[in-house]
């Protein structure tokens, strides 16, 4: 977790008496089974996320602070993948008197219901599965009770099956078999996660171990779990055979033709006697400027007690260290699972290298210096963004990140298609027929995130963010060679053009192509088949680069080598969304300004599309239920669009419309409208700024209220995608508010957001930004190289994800949970603005 001078024994002695380690599991007020070191959750989180099996649900165990087991449920395959069917939870009943949690599970596709009853029995939980009707025949031999173990916490550790010792494999290399596709249990909406290469057969992993008594990790007491079943056979599988994000799966098949109690397991996670979670010392791994407030947040086990003092040490030039400050640690209070305290060492201001010590815990070292924030966006700008440029080959030194993807272009998506990445095509509303090539779309644009689609809304945000960066801060940094003619990008090779301009051009090229060739904005340009959507590797190998010709057989190429019968071409989902058109209009107006004088042709085309989409989008919105809903929600319609169009054209009516909208929007919700209102200041007179003043004061009250809402004083979200994006936005708005209203809002709010991003947050204290500036950045991210347990420099993780009812987590040894570890192109360009705004604020 962090560098530690480890003297654990005094802690054990101190706290062993406060909660007897021999205590049994108890059903607590938060409706899970608990003893010190073990949280045993039964469907506190259901399979209701947007992407089927998110490895976040069912029966879960948080074992000595780490969620190492999840996915406990009736499942229909040996090693469930993300798009395998997941059960609906039809009921969840907690019976305090009986000490049980009962859940009803249903697979509507098979009209298959089951019930799971979990009962604490001493230090174990007994899991009983009941069927009121026999298993549907179609699921015999497939339906079973599964429990999944986190590979990175178990690999290389030992396990015993019926007393026989083996080791969890570091990498999957166990036996598989193939079965006819007809035997495959249906996957999500009938899609297939696999390409059978014309064999008509799917791969099914074989168990690596079978028995009735399974003991995981006897060699690692914090991970030791015993599972037994007298009747049912336990089988251990390696889920990574089918999907790199698979877990180890322990399962038993449900018996055919039986009702009543059909399966019973006993699961006993070990609790280490006297264990108390090591304090997590939150601080900025990037460091601090001398004048800024410096407050470390200490996250503590509720069994732990707050120490009176903490210390700051300085690393001296001869390599020795000396204590330079000792100060009080003040209790903040409880926040979900842990309790928190704060240590203020703002008085340490001399530039140098330091570390913190809290009892036996020593932090990584950090720097105090005027320039610590100067390089926080360099990796994002020089490395992460150019690597995500679509339709280009991207080279860095000796390494090619990817070749030129999607050379065959994009086909019109067929009508009435639901998509696995949450899009859908309604009736075709373009001049193209289903599966007809839409010309001109394979240019420019950015990969969405860890996947390779062009998410139009995100790409609009990207261009908007980059223009905002360009217009406000004029970054002339030139570290990237970009040639649209060669379709080639070379990292760390200056070419005489500011990179931000080239990035704006690249995004605009694709979006203008959409508007011109489709007539309006597509929702997405995305994969047509699921088995290349989850692609890991070179983006240029996702499709075969040949036009799809249905007259050929799959895997067959035409005589001229230009087309193939493999239906792997990407699709454009074109269903018109006027709100998206308005967002595009805003972005095109901004892009046309930035590109003027650099690429005049593209600048003119962008402005033409902006005006057209503004007019058409506004009319469509006025006449659509969506428009009415947006107004009902207090959305501010085309307010930002009007501002951007005024700035681009100087036409007064755009400004009048903006002014008419901005004050009611602020009155409705100052927190959501303040950023747009601040954006207008450079174009308005002093009276606008003065009228805005009370709203900024109101916003300050909100910012201050965060200090009592959570120990970190920034907006920590509890959603299914962690909240570093909202912390970054908060930091950006705080920076601008502080710049325009320094007498109301000081720089400390923006700096608090920076500290959170760089390590002062729950769970661990690693910087959430890959690679740059920090002593200890996170090491694994959900990028397109996630199978290598690696990162793309400059990526910004969503961060610390909330799991119901009381757990925050961010895995740094397991990249595959997107809600914690997947940086996005919109989020990362938003981080670029935050970095620039912060630097601008501090250089004042």
Helix (H, G, I), strand (E, B) or coil at 631: helix
Compute the least distance from the CB of residue 91 to Ca ion, in Å: 34
> If binding is defined by CB under 5 A, does position 785 make contact with Ca ion?
no
Q: Which residue is nearest to Ca ion (CB)?
A: 448
Q: Please, what is the minimum distance in Å from the beta carbon of residue 696 to Ca ion?
A: 36
| Residue 30 Rama label (left phi>0; alpha psi -120 to 50; beta) | alpha
- Note whether 816 and 150 are within 8 A (CB): no
Tell the smallest beta-carbon distance from residue 518 to Ca ion (Å): 19
Nearest of 246, 252, 14 to residue 128 by alpha carbon: 252
Query: How many residues at the interface with Ca ion, by CB under 5 A?
Result: 15
**x/- letters, 503..542, toward Ca ion (CB under 5 A):** ----------------------------------------
Shortest approach of Ca ion to residue 307 CB, angstroms? Answer: 46
What H or E segment, with its residue span, contains residue 162? none
Shortest CB 181 distance to Ca ion, Å: 22
| Residue 822 binds to Ca ion (criterion: CB under 5 A) | no
DSSP 456: H
490 counts as binding Ca ion under rule CB under 5 A: no
Whether 342 and 386 have beta carbons less than 8 Å apart is answered as no
Q: Which is nearer to Ca ion, 351 or 545 (CB)?
A: 545
Contact 212, 252 (CB under 8 A): no
Q: Which is nearer to Ca ion, 553 or 693 (CB)?
A: 553
**616 near Ca ion, rule: CB under 5 A:** no
Nearest residue (CB) to Ca ion, 368 versus 546 = 546
Choose among 711, 742, 694: nearest CA to 844: 742
**Which of these, 768, 776, 775, lies nearest to 821 by C-alpha position?**
768
Span interacting with Ca ion, options 27-35, 190-198, 389-397, 497-505, rule CB under 5 A: 497-505
Taking the complex as a whole, how short is the minimal distance between the CB of residue 789 and Ca ion, in angstroms? 22
Rounded Cα distance, 48 and 655, in Å: 44
- Decide if residue 478 touches Ca ion (CB under 5 A): yes
Q: Would you count residue 499 as binding Ca ion (CB under 5 A)?
A: yes
Angle at 287 between CA 286 and CA 288, to 5 degrees: 135
Q: Residue 149's CB: how many other CB atoms inside 10 A? A: 25
Structure tokens that stand for 29 in this block: 């007020």
Judged by beta carbon, residue 60 or residue 408, the one nearer Ca ion is 408
> Footprint of Ca ion on residues 357-416 (CB under 5 A)?
408
Kindly indicate which of the ranges 161-169, 234-242, 487-495, 718-726 contains the residues binding Ca ion, using the contact rule CB under 5 A: 487-495
By C-beta, is 478 or 806 nearer to Ca ion? 478
3-state secondary structure of 518: helix
Between 10 and 50, CB nearer to Ca ion? 50
Residue among 362 and 395 whose Cβ is closer to Ca ion? 395
Q: How far is the CB of 60 from Ca ion (least distance, A)?
A: 27
Member of 84, 448, 490, 505 binding Ca ion (CB under 5 A): 448
497 belongs to the binding site for Ca ion (CB under 5 A): yes
Q: Of 451 and 581, which has the nearer Cβ to Ca ion? A: 451
Helix (H) and strand (E) counts in the chain: 18, 43
Shorter beta-carbon distance to Ca ion: residue 105 or 383 = 383
Tell me which residue of 585, 450, 591, 441 sits closest to 524, measured CA to CA. 441
53/568 with CB nearer Ca ion: 568
Single out the segment in contact with Ca ion by CB under 5 A; choices: 440-448, 653-661, 692-700, 706-714: 440-448
β-bridge pairing 38-42 and 33-35: antiparallel
| Site for Ca ion contains 480 (CB under 5 A) | yes
Min. distance of Cβ 446 from Ca ion in angstroms? 11
Which residue from 655, 702, 724 is spatially nearest to 683, judged by alpha carbons? Answer: 655
Stretch that binds Ca ion, among 219-227, 476-484, 682-690, 799-807 (CB under 5 A): 476-484
Between CA 775 and CA 281 the distance in angstroms is 14
Which region, judged by CB under 5 A, interacts with Ca ion, from 23-31, 88-96, 163-171, 446-454?
Answer: 446-454
Contact 412, 433 (CB under 8 A): yes
CB of 405 to Ca ion, least distance (A): 11
> Residue 421 Cβ, how far from Ca ion at the closest point, in Å?
5
CB of 777 or CB of 827, closer to Ca ion: 827
Site for Ca ion in 569-598 (CB under 5 A): 569
Q: Which is nearer to Ca ion, 124 or 454 (CB)?
A: 454
* C-beta of 812 vs 822, nearer to Ca ion: 822
Shortest distance, position 488 Cβ to Ca ion, whole Å: 12
Q: Rounded to the nearest whole angstrom, what is the least distance from the CB of residue 773 to Ca ion in the complex? A: 22
Neighbouring residues of 217: CB distance < 8 A, sequence distance ≥ 6? 154, 157, 158, 159, 223, 224, 225
* 97-to-26, 120, 215, 265 alpha-carbon distances in Å: 12, 12, 31, 22
> At its nearest, how many Å lie between Ca ion and the CB of residue 456?
11
Are 251 and 237 contacting, i.e. CB atoms less than 8 angstroms apart? yes
Taking CB under 5 A as the criterion, which residues in 676-705 touch Ca ion? none
Reading across the β-sheet that carries 225-228, which strands appear in turn? Answer: 88-95, 100-107, 112-121, 124-131, 260-269, 225-228, 213-216, 158-161, 164-167
Q: Token pair of 616, please?
A: 């058409």
Instruction: Please identify, using beta-carbon distances, which residue of 364 and 499 lies nearer to Ca ion.
Output: 499
Of residues 128 and 448, the one with the C-beta less far from Ca ion: 448
State which of residues 451, 657, 809, 812 lies at the interface with Ca ion (CB under 5 A). Answer: 451
- In the range 552-571, which residues lie near Ca ion by CB under 5 A? 568-569
Q: How far is CA 639 from CA 49, 177, 471, 692, in A?
A: 32, 59, 19, 16
Alpha carbon distances (Å) from 466 to 384, 719, 733, 842: 14, 27, 16, 21
**Number of C-beta neighbours around residue 200 at 10 A:** 10
Please select the residue that binds Ca ion; options are 453, 469, 809, 822, rule is CB under 5 A.
453
* Chain residues in the site for Ca ion (CB under 5 A): 408, 421, 448, 451, 453, 478, 480, 495, 497, 499, 543-544, 546, 568-569
């Amino acid at each position: 977790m962090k560098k530690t001078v480890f003297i654990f024994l005094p802690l054990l002695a101190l706290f062993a008496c406060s909660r007897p380690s021999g205590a049994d599991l108890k059903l607590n007020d938060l409706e899970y089974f608990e003893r010190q070191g073990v949280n045993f959750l039964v469907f506190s989180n259901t399979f209701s996320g947007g992407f089927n099996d998110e490895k976040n649900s069912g029966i879960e165990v948080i074992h000595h602070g780490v969620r190492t087991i999840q996915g406990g449920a009736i499942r229909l395959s040996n090693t469930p993948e993300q798009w395998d069917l997941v059960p609906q939870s039809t009921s969840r009943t907690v019976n305090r008197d009986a000490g049980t949690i009962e859940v009803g599970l249903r697979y509507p596709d098979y009209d298959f219901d089951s019930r799971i009853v979990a009962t604490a029995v001493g230090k174990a939980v007994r899991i009983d599965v009941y069927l009121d009707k026999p298993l549907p025949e179609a699921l015999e031999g497939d339906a079973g009770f599964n429990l999944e173990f986190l590979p990175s916490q178990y690999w290389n550790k030992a396990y015993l099956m019926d007393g026989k010792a083996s080791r969890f494999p570091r990498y999957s290399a166990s036996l598989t078999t193939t079965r006819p596709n007809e035997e495959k249990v249906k996957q999500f909406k009938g899609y297939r996660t696999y390409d059978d290469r014309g064999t008509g057969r799917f791969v099914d992993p074989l168990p690596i171990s079978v028995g009735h008594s399974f003991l995981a990790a006897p060699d690692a007491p914090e991970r030791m779990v015993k599972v037994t079943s007298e009747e049912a056979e336990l089988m251990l599988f390696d889920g990574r055979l089918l999907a790199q994000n698979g877990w180890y799966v322990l399962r038993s098949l449900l018996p055919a033709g039986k009702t009543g109690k059909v399966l019973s397991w006993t699961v006993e996670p070990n609790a280490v006697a006297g264990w108390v979670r090591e304090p997590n010392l939150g601080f900025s791994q990037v460091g601090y400027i001398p004048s800024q407030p410096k407050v470390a947040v200490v996250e503590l086990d509720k069994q732990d007690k707050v120490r009176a003092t903490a210390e700051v040490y300085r690393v001296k030039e001869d390599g020795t260290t000396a204590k330079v400050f000792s100060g009080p640690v003040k209790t903040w209070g409880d926040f979900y699972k842990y309790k928190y305290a704060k240590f203020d060492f703002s008085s340490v201001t001399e530039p140098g290298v330091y570390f913190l010590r809290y009892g036996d815990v020593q932090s990584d070292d950090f720097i105090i210096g005027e320039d610590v924030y100067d390089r926080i966006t360099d990796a994002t700008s020089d490395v992460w963004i150019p690597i995500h440029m679509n339709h280009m080959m991207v080279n860095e030194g000796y390494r090619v990140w990817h070749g030129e993807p999607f050379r065959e272009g994009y086909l019109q998506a067929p009508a009435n298609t639901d998509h696995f990445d949450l899009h859908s095509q309604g009736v075709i509303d373009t001049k193209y027929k289903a599966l007809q090539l839409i010309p001109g779309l394979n240019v420019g644009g950015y990969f969405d995130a860890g996947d390779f689609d062009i998410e139009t809304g995100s790409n609009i945000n990207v261009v908007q963010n980059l223009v905002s960066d360009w217009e406000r801060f004029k970054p002339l940094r030139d570290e990237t060679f970009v040639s649209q003619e060669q379709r080639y990008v070379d990292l760390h090779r200056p070419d005489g053009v500011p990179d931000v301009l080239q990035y704006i051009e690249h995004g605009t090229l694709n979006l203008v192509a959409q508007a011109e060739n489709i007539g309006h904005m597509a929702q997405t340009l995305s994969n047509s088949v699921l088995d290349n959507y989850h692609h890991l590797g070179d983006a240029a190998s996702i499709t075969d680069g040949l036009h799809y010709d249905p007259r050929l057989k799959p895997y067959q190429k035409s005589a001229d080598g230009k087309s193939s019968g493999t239906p792997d071409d990407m699709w454009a989902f074109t269903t018109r969304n006027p709100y998206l058109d308005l967002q595009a209009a805003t972005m095109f107006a901004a892009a046309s300004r930035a590109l003027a004088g650099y690429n005049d042709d593209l600048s003119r085309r962008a402005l033409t599309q902006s005006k057209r989409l503004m007019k058409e989008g506004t009319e469509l919105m006025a006449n659509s239920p969506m428009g009415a809903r947006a107004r009902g929600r207090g959305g501010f319609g085309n307010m930002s669009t009007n501002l951007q169009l005024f700035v681009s054209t100087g036409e007064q009516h755009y400004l009048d419309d903006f002014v008419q909208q901005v004050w009611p929007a602020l009155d409705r919700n100052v927190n959501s409208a303040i950023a747009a209102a601040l954006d207008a200041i450079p174009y308005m007179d002093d009276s606008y700024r003065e009228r805005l003043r009370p709203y900024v004061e109101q916003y300050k009250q909100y910012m201050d209220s965060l200090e009592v809402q959570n120990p970190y004083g920034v907006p920590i979200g509890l959603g299914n995608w962690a909240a570093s994006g909202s912390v970054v936005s908060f930091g950006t708005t705080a920076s601008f508010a502080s710049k325009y209203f320094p007498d109301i809002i000081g720089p400390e709010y923006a700096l608090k957001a920076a500290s959170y991003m760089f390590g002062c947050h729950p769970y661990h204290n690693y910087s959430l930004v890959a690679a740059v500036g920090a002593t200890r950045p996170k090491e694994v991210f959900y990028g397109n190289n996630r199978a290598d347990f690696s990162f793309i420099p400059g990526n910004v993780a969503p961060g610390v994800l909330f799991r119901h009812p009381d757990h925050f987590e961010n895995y740094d040894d397991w990249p595959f949970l997107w809600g914690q570890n997947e940086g996005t192109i919109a989020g990362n360009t938003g981080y670029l603005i935050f970095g620039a705004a912060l630097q601008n604020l501090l250089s004042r």
